[in-house]
Structure 1
Amino acid sequence: MHQFKESTRNRIIFYFAILFILFIILSLKLVWIQVINSAEYQHQALDQRVREFIVNSERGIIYDNTGRKLAVSLPAKTVVALPDNIIDPKKTAAELADLLELDYQTIYRRLTSDASAIFLQRKINDKLYQQIADLNLKGITFTEENKRYYPEGELASHIIGFTGIDNNGLNGLELSYNNYLQGKSGKIVVERDASGKTIPDGIREAVPGRDGYNVYLTIDEVIQFMAEKELEKAADEFDISGGSVIVMDSENGDILALANTPTYDPNKFSDFTEKSWRNRAISDLFEPGSTFKIITTASALEEGAVTENDVFTDPGYIIVGDQKINCWKLWGHGVETFAEVVKNSCNPGFVEVGLKMGKASFYSYIKAFGFGEKTGIRLPAEAAGIIPAYNKVSDVELATFSFGHGLSVTPIQLVTAVSAVANGGKLMRPRLVKEVETGAGKKNIVNKSQVVRRVISEKTAAKTQQLLKQVVASGTGTKAAIPGYQIGGKTGTAKHYNEDIYDSSFIGIVPADQRKLVVLIVLYDVAGHTYYGSQTAAPLFKDLTKNILGYLNVKPDYKHEFTYQSNLSSQIIPDLKGLSFLDAESKLRAANFNVKIIGNGKIVTDQLPVSGTEAVYDSTVWLFDQAHSVQNILIAVPDFRNKSASTARNLAARKGLQVKTTGQGKVVGQSVYPGKRVPAQTIIRLKLR
């Protein structure tokens, strides 16, 4: 009996010990759950009974400068599958496959996934939504999102760009201003019961979102439409790969139109090639050709290396180093003033000007006008252009720069640089966005016009404009002329290396009441017999500009038609040797000569042309100090043939050369071939008969 009691007692102690151990384990587990790891379990419990709904923000509207909508957001349905509620996934997948244009297996795999909800197709059109809704499929529902819509289709597509399926900007201003346009999504948190229904008095929390900011552009929808229509016309009329048009208000840098062809519809951008999305006006490089002569002209006038009355000679070419650079006119333009060099678009004349400026000076002006660097227009993929490194620029490169070859620029760089000539000398930063509207009670973000730097004086800008007006009035740009309007401009034609295709262009300065517009037309890869800028781009410029002026209600003025006036009266250059530079310059200025000083010395030791030369009013006299020889200046030899001895002698003196004649009558031969560059004061022997 005692043994039985002892055994029972041991079993009780054993079971009690087990229960005690279990109690300790459960207690520790409860401490772990309720104390140590309570936050995690609370979060899991909350997740089971709380549902979070994302409230999409609405993307901001993009307006033109008159308030017309260029990009808006519209409600669109998204097809959502709830796999747990689908009764027959095979049948449902089969019915949706054709409508959604998706593979059956792809849909079936989504319908049978472990997800509680899954997107089948986002932002469908109203017709497709109605077709799916009419099927009344169990487990198929819809949610509403915002879809980007471009009311004008292809209009300004390269400026505006487009968004992806998640409403994030992928191109154009939609990308570069995405942080302003996209807004911030909000959310609503609700508590549900075991059946998934919302508990009326359960937890509710709303985190407000923020709609995107509206953006106001400088673009004028009407002018943009006109620009795109002209490019369409060019594509039909000429054999080209594409083209660009930019219209800029030179006073503030506002872009009123920026168009390219080919174009695309941002509402269905995926239907177009990526090449069509490319904004060639800011991304593509081209040789500006003769349009760059505007920059050469303004730089040379500002530097004082030349005036409109300086004499030039063009036998049809000029020789620089071992290169023969031809003029477009086979027999050349003969003797001409610099004003006529500009009007005639004479390459040898511009080569002389570029070389007279010198490498350091000319290169610095090219950079000052903004070439070789991005303009900062704030559009994706802007190119910086290509300007050869300074240490790789020889006289030949410098010569070709002067007429727009050997360097590559973007259309936006060229129109920005010429706008500095149009507005009195200020290089402006191009502006596409005028203002960002940040909502009620907040201060709007204003994108003020910005002066990058002053590159030339107002006087130089005004003189350059006058020279450009004569180009349109009676020079190579007459096909751009519009009666009643004083337009200045320049054609450009640049041949591709080793290819028989061209880039043709025209850029013009257009007075429009209190402001001056700069309009650029560029046609890329022009093939066929009609390729000169004067034949292709200039007529397009005329038609576009006429429409713009009519739209802006700028009336023609037939009473004050432009006529270029020059003073070609002659006078004798005085002897300046031995004078101080200050006295010599004062004496020349008083006699209405332009002065170019070479050196930093105090006393004039030589001059060009020499004293006693009969020179034209406001022509340039070069003064040298002891450290700089006049013979370091190279002069292009004129074609003296068929000239009298006196005429040849005077021309040589004005150019800075000397002649010795034999015989009588007209010049029939000369010791140095025309167009060759020789040191100043070189004696040229002429044979007369």
Structure 2
Amino acid sequence: MQDFKESIKNRAMFYFAVIFLLFVIIAFRLLWIQVINSAEYKDRALNQRMREFVVNSERGIIYDNTGRKLAVSLAAKTVVALPDSIIDPQKTAQELAGLLDVNYDTIYRRITSDAAAIFLQRKINDQLHEELLARDIPGIIFIDESKRHYPEGELASHIIGFTGIDNNGLSGLELSYNNYLVGKEGRMAVERDAAGKPIPAGIRESVPVQNGHNLHLTIDQVIQYFAERELKLAEENFDISGGSIIVMDSQNGDVLALANTPTYDPNNFNNYPEKNWRNRAINDVFEPGSTFKIITTAAALEEGVISENDILTDPGHIYVGRHEISCWSDRGHGAHTFANVVKTSCNPGFVEVALKMEKDTFYSYIDAFGFGKRSSIRLPAEADGLLPEYNRIGEVELATFSFGHGLSVTPIQLASAVSAVANGGKLMQPRLVKEVDRGAEQSNLINEPSVVRQVISEQTANKTRELLKQTVLNGTGTQAAIEGYEIAGKTGTAQHYNEDLYDASFVGIVPTENTDLTVLVILYDITGDTYYGSQTAAPVFRNLGENILSYLDVKPDFTQQPGYELSDEKLTVPEIRNLSKFEAEQSLREKGFNVKIQGDGDKIIDQLPKAGALVNKNSTVWLFDDKVENYNVLIPVPDFRGMELEAVKELAALRGLKISSSGSGKVIGQSVYPGRRIKTDQVISLKLQ
């Protein structure tokens, strides 16, 4: 009995010890939870009651230069599944598969996952939203998101670009200005009870949303529409792979229109091939052909190696080394002024002019006009253009550069370069965005017009422009003429290497009341018999120019003088040798000559043309001083055949060539083939009959 009582007592003590130990553990645990680590558990409890929601920001609006909206954000519904609330997953998946852009297996896998909520399809249209609402499918809810919308559809699509499903820019200004447009999403936390309902006096926390900034562009929606319409008409009229048009305000670099074809609708960009998204005016390069002669003309006039009155000779071709470079006219243009070289777009004439400039000089102008590097227009994937390495440029390359072959440029580079001729010689940085509107609390970001550099003098720019007016008035660009307006411009045609494909172009200067517009038209990969820029791009330019002038209400002036007349006054070149450089230049300029001096010496030892030559007023006389290394320049030989001896002597003296003759009458043969370039001390033997 005593043992039994002792056993009971021991058991009681044991259970008491166990209970006491449990009490101590529980007490310690409570102390840990309620005192030592109370803050953590308080946060956990609060988090169980809190529900955080993302508040999407609204992407900024993109406006044209008159305030018309080109890109806006609209409210859109996104379909969300709550797997725990779905009653019949198979039936739900079948029903949704017939309505959404998602197959049955994908939907079923998603709605049976462990996730609390999952996206099924984002940013659906209103019709689908209404249909899903009417079906009232258990476990399917909708949340609000922002959807990008382009109210003008295809208009300016290559400029504006598009956004992805997450509302971030993927192309165009939507991409390059994404950091300004996208804004910052907000967040809101709401305290809920066990049933998931908001607690009226519960804790609410929020991070305010910051909507994106608005962009104000330089683009004019109406001019952009005109440009895109003309490209569509060009597609109907010519066999082309595409085209580009740029309209630029030459004074400030504002791009008023930048159009490409083929195009696409950014609202449904996935429905178009990726090639349609490509902004060829920025991303692609092409050989400019004869439009580049504008650059050659400006550079040569600025350097003083030529004047518009200088006489050049064109037998239909010119030889540079072993290479024959032909004129578009098989018979050539004979002896004609440089003004006529520009007007008729004579390749041999431009080759001769380019070779009068040293490689360093001509290349420096190509660089100064902005070729070979990006224009910084701030659109994605802008190309640099293609220029041969400097040390790989020889005489042949220099010659072909003169008429726009052997180098490739982007349309925006060419438009910017010609704008420098239009505005008095200033290369402007092209501008697409005028202003970023950051709202009332921050100052706006103003993108001021920016002068890159002064490339040529105002005098040279004006003279080049006058020569280009003659091209449109009665030269190769007559199809671009607009009655009542002084249009300056140049056609261009470049053949693809070893292919019957051509890029045709026209770049022109259109005067308005307040500024001058540079308009560039390019048609790519033309096939068929009609491919010259004068036949294709020039008429497109004319139609576009007429629409722009009408829209801007620029009245025609039919009282303007028809053209730029060269003086027919003749001057006899005086003897300048043995005079000082200063005396020689002063004497010639006072008599009405243009002067180009070669060398760094003080005394003139030779001249071209020679003394006694009869030349046009303002013609260029080359002077060589006593420190010039090599003044025996190469002169293209004219075609003397069929000319009387007196006329031959006059032309030879003008060109600084030496001749000898046998027989009488007209020239029937010459010892140096026409177009060959020879030194001035080489004698050309002529046979007369």
Return the TM-score normalized by structure 2: 0.97
> The residue matched to 1:605 in structure 2 has which SS?
strand
Amino acid at match of 1:318: I
Give the aligned partner of residue 333 of structure 2. 333
Q: How far apart, in 2, do the equivalents of 1:584 and 1:509 lie? A: 38
Query: What is the CA distance between 1:400 and its match in structure 2?
Result: 0.2
Give the aligned partner of residue 264 of structure 1. 264
Amino acid at match of 2:379: L
* 2:508 matches 1:508: yes
Q: How far apart, in 1, do the equivalents of 2:628 and 2:684 lie? A: 23
Q: How far apart, in 1, do the equivalents of 2:623 and 2:382 lie? A: 44
Q: How far apart, in 2, do the equivalents of 1:477 and 1:223 lie? A: 23
Give the aligned partner of residue 640 of structure 2. 640
Give the aligned partner of residue 142 of structure 1. 142
Q: For the structure 1 residues 630 and 40, does the alpha-carbon distance in structure 2 shift closer, same or farther, using more than 3 Å as the test?
A: same
* 2:308 matches 1:308: yes
**Given that residues 632 and 681 in structure 2 are in contact (C-alpha distance below 8 angstroms), is that contact kept between their aligned partners in structure 1?**
no
Q: How far apart, in 2, do the equivalents of 1:30 and 1:578 lie? A: 115
Q: How far apart, in 2, do the equivalents of 1:507 and 1:33 lie? A: 81
> The residue matched to 1:510 in structure 2 has which SS?
strand
Which region of structure 1 is more displaced relative to structure 2, 141-150 or 263-272?
A: 141-150
**Given that residues 630 and 680 in structure 1 are in contact (C-alpha distance below 8 angstroms), is that contact kept between their aligned partners in structure 2?**
no
Superposition map of 1:312-323 within 5 A: 312-323=312-323
Amino acid at match of 1:481: A
Q: How far apart, in 2, do the equivalents of 1:120 and 1:503 lie? A: 48
Which region of structure 1 is more displaced relative to structure 2, 451-460 or 577-586?
A: 577-586
Give the aligned partner of residue 233 of structure 2. 233
Superposition map of 1:384-423 within 5 A: 384-423=384-423
Q: How far apart, in 2, do the equivalents of 1:2 and 1:253 lie? A: 114
Query: What is the CA distance between 1:11 and its match in structure 2?
Result: 6.2
Q: How far apart, in 2, do the equivalents of 1:484 and 1:561 lie? A: 10
Q: How far apart, in 2, do the equivalents of 1:35 and 1:648 lie? A: 116
> The residue matched to 2:498 in structure 1 has which SS?
coil
Q: How far apart, in 2, do the equivalents of 1:618 and 1:609 lie? A: 13
Q: For the structure 1 residues 173 and 39, does the alpha-carbon distance in structure 2 shift closer, same or farther, using more than 3 Å as the test?
A: farther
Q: How far apart, in 2, do the equivalents of 1:643 and 1:48 lie? A: 105
Query: What is the CA distance between 1:627 and its match in structure 2?
Result: 3.2
Give the aligned partner of residue 533 of structure 2. 533
Q: How far apart, in 2, do the equivalents of 1:630 and 1:329 lie? A: 33
Query: What is the CA distance between 1:432 and its match in structure 2?
Result: 0.7
Give the aligned partner of residue 211 of structure 1. 211
Query: What is the CA distance between 1:219 and its match in structure 2?
Result: 0.7
Give the aligned partner of residue 439 of structure 1. 439
Per-residue CA deviation, residues 135-154 of structure 1 (Å, 9 max, x unaligned), is 01111111111111111111
> The residue matched to 2:153 in structure 1 has which SS?
coil
**Given that residues 57 and 209 in structure 1 are in contact (C-alpha distance below 8 angstroms), is that contact kept between their aligned partners in structure 2?**
yes
Give the aligned partner of residue 454 of structure 1. 454
Give the aligned partner of residue 171 of structure 1. 171
Give the aligned partner of residue 610 of structure 1. 610
Query: What is the CA distance between 1:384 and its match in structure 2?
Result: 0.7
Query: What is the CA distance between 1:635 and its match in structure 2?
Result: 0.9
Amino acid at match of 1:313: T
Amino acid at match of 1:528: G
Superposition map of 1:103-182 within 5 A: 103-182=103-182
Per-residue CA deviation, residues 211-261 of structure 1 (Å, 9 max, x unaligned), is 111111111111111111110011011110000011001011011111000
**Given that residues 241 and 524 in structure 2 are in contact (C-alpha distance below 8 angstroms), is that contact kept between their aligned partners in structure 1?**
yes
Per-residue CA deviation, residues 281-317 of structure 1 (Å, 9 max, x unaligned), is 1111100000000000001001111110111100110
Q: How far apart, in 2, do the equivalents of 1:144 and 1:665 lie? A: 95
Q: How far apart, in 1, do the equivalents of 2:394 and 2:28 lie? A: 87
Query: What is the CA distance between 1:6 and its match in structure 2?
Result: 7.6
**Given that residues 484 and 561 in structure 1 are in contact (C-alpha distance below 8 angstroms), is that contact kept between their aligned partners in structure 2?**
no
Give the aligned partner of residue 594 of structure 1. 594
Query: What is the CA distance between 1:628 and its match in structure 2?
Result: 2.2
Superposition map of 1:188-199 within 5 A: 188-199=188-199
Query: What is the CA distance between 1:8 and its match in structure 2?
Result: 7.2
> The residue matched to 1:646 in structure 2 has which SS?
helix
Query: What is the CA distance between 1:36 and its match in structure 2?
Result: 6.8
**Given that residues 634 and 680 in structure 2 are in contact (C-alpha distance below 8 angstroms), is that contact kept between their aligned partners in structure 1?**
yes
Amino acid at match of 1:603: K
Q: How far apart, in 2, do the equivalents of 1:383 and 1:120 lie? A: 40
Amino acid at match of 1:335: A
Return the TM-score normalized by structure 1: 0.97
Per-residue CA deviation, residues 112-156 of structure 1 (Å, 9 max, x unaligned), is 121121111111111111111110111111111111111111111
Q: How far apart, in 1, do the equivalents of 2:54 and 2:348 lie? A: 69
Give the aligned partner of residue 466 of structure 2. 466
Give the aligned partner of residue 579 of structure 1. 579
Amino acid at match of 1:454: Q
Amino acid at match of 2:562: F
* 2:101 matches 1:64: no
Give the aligned partner of residue 288 of structure 2. 288
Q: How far apart, in 2, do the equivalents of 1:416 and 1:204 lie? A: 56
Q: How far apart, in 1, do the equivalents of 2:32 and 2:603 lie? A: 98
Give the aligned partner of residue 75 of structure 2. 75
* 2:373 matches 1:365: no
**Given that residues 486 and 561 in structure 1 are in contact (C-alpha distance below 8 angstroms), is that contact kept between their aligned partners in structure 2?**
no
Query: What is the CA distance between 1:182 and its match in structure 2?
Result: 1.2
Q: How far apart, in 2, do the equivalents of 1:118 and 1:646 lie? A: 95
Give the aligned partner of residue 200 of structure 1. 200
**Given that residues 601 and 628 in structure 2 are in contact (C-alpha distance below 8 angstroms), is that contact kept between their aligned partners in structure 1?**
no
Q: For the structure 1 residues 629 and 659, does the alpha-carbon distance in structure 2 shift closer, same or farther, using more than 3 Å as the test?
A: farther
> The residue matched to 2:328 in structure 1 has which SS?
coil
> The residue matched to 1:294 in structure 2 has which SS?
helix
CA RMSD of aligned residues (A): 1.8
**Given that residues 602 and 626 in structure 2 are in contact (C-alpha distance below 8 angstroms), is that contact kept between their aligned partners in structure 1?**
no
> The residue matched to 2:604 in structure 1 has which SS?
coil
Q: How far apart, in 2, do the equivalents of 1:363 and 1:33 lie? A: 81
Query: What is the CA distance between 1:166 and its match in structure 2?
Result: 1.2
Give the aligned partner of residue 490 of structure 2. 490
Give the aligned partner of residue 658 of structure 2. 658
Q: How far apart, in 2, do the equivalents of 1:544 and 1:111 lie? A: 56
Q: For the structure 1 residues 578 and 39, does the alpha-carbon distance in structure 2 shift closer, same or farther, using more than 3 Å as the test?
A: farther
Give the aligned partner of residue 667 of structure 1. 667
Q: For the structure 1 residues 656 and 37, does the alpha-carbon distance in structure 2 shift closer, same or farther, using more than 3 Å as the test?
A: farther
Query: What is the CA distance between 1:602 and its match in structure 2?
Result: 2.0
Superposition map of 1:8-87 within 5 A: 40-87=40-87
**Given that residues 599 and 629 in structure 2 are in contact (C-alpha distance below 8 angstroms), is that contact kept between their aligned partners in structure 1?**
no
* 2:342 matches 1:342: yes
Query: What is the CA distance between 1:618 and its match in structure 2?
Result: 0.9
Q: How far apart, in 1, do the equivalents of 2:3 and 2:566 lie? A: 142
Query: What is the CA distance between 1:629 and its match in structure 2?
Result: 4.8
Amino acid at match of 1:284: D
Q: Structure 2 unaligned runs (5+)?
A: none
**Given that residues 250 and 422 in structure 1 are in contact (C-alpha distance below 8 angstroms), is that contact kept between their aligned partners in structure 2?**
yes
**Given that residues 593 and 619 in structure 2 are in contact (C-alpha distance below 8 angstroms), is that contact kept between their aligned partners in structure 1?**
yes
Give the aligned partner of residue 243 of structure 2. 243
Q: For the structure 1 residues 204 and 612, does the alpha-carbon distance in structure 2 shift closer, same or farther, using more than 3 Å as the test?
A: same
Per-residue CA deviation, residues 540-586 of structure 1 (Å, 9 max, x unaligned), is 11111011101110011000143121113221222222222222111
Q: How far apart, in 2, do the equivalents of 1:378 and 1:515 lie? A: 24
> The residue matched to 2:621 in structure 1 has which SS?
strand
Q: For the structure 1 residues 579 and 202, does the alpha-carbon distance in structure 2 shift closer, same or farther, using more than 3 Å as the test?
A: same
**Given that residues 60 and 212 in structure 2 are in contact (C-alpha distance below 8 angstroms), is that contact kept between their aligned partners in structure 1?**
yes
> The residue matched to 1:385 in structure 2 has which SS?
coil
Query: What is the CA distance between 1:589 and its match in structure 2?
Result: 1.2
**Given that residues 472 and 479 in structure 1 are in contact (C-alpha distance below 8 angstroms), is that contact kept between their aligned partners in structure 2?**
yes
Query: What is the CA distance between 1:598 and its match in structure 2?
Result: 1.2
Q: Structure 1 unaligned runs (5+)?
A: none
Query: What is the CA distance between 1:612 and its match in structure 2?
Result: 2.4
Q: How far apart, in 2, do the equivalents of 1:578 and 1:131 lie? A: 98
Query: What is the CA distance between 1:14 and its match in structure 2?
Result: 6.0
> The residue matched to 1:544 in structure 2 has which SS?
helix
> The residue matched to 2:98 in structure 1 has which SS?
helix
Q: For the structure 1 residues 27 and 388, does the alpha-carbon distance in structure 2 shift closer, same or farther, using more than 3 Å as the test?
A: farther
* 2:220 matches 1:220: yes
Q: For the structure 1 residues 109 and 685, does the alpha-carbon distance in structure 2 shift closer, same or farther, using more than 3 Å as the test?
A: same
* 2:589 matches 1:627: no
Q: How far apart, in 1, do the equivalents of 2:167 and 2:517 lie? A: 36
Which region of structure 1 is more displaced relative to structure 2, 327-336 or 647-656?
A: 647-656
Q: How far apart, in 2, do the equivalents of 1:168 and 1:9 lie? A: 78
